[in-house]
Amino acid sequence: MSLTADPPACTVPAAGGTSTHKLVNAGADKLIFKIKSSNNTEYRITPVFGFVDPSGSKDVVITRTAGAPKEDKLVIHFANAPADATDAQAAFAALTPAGNITIPMSATA
């Protein structure tokens, strides 16, 4: 089970902006994920929950609203997806994450 983020870090202007990242599943099993942010006031993440097919990828968009320059992070928790799962948010609630990825986020002046 392997999930990676490309690019592995996020830099956006403190005045606001977006950054798109690709979650890549190099494994043979479908994965389910949940993304948590250390700063929910200035960042919006789409999607927060989702699935990544085997040998597939999923785009994640990080949007920052205007605010003071600072360092934050995203933590992406993931696990093997239940075979019958169709609602990622509901399915993830019943799981224990098997791994995580941290994406450092930097808002620059």
Residue range 60-89, pLDDT digits in tens: 999 999 999 999 999 999 999 999 999 999
Residue range 4-59, pLDDT digits in tens: 999 999 999 999 999 999 999 999 999 999 999 999 999 999 999 999 999 999 99
Say whether 38 sits in a helix, a strand or coil: coil
The pLDDT-based confidence of 90 (bands split at 50, 70, 90) is very high
Strands (E), the chain: 3-6, 10-13, 17-25, 31-37, 43-46, 49-52, 57-64, 71-80, 99-108
**CA 10 to chain CA centroid, nearest Å:** 11
pTM of the model: 0.94
Query: Domain residues of the chain, as ranges?
Result: 3-107
Fold for domain 3-107?
Immunoglobulin-like (2.60.40)
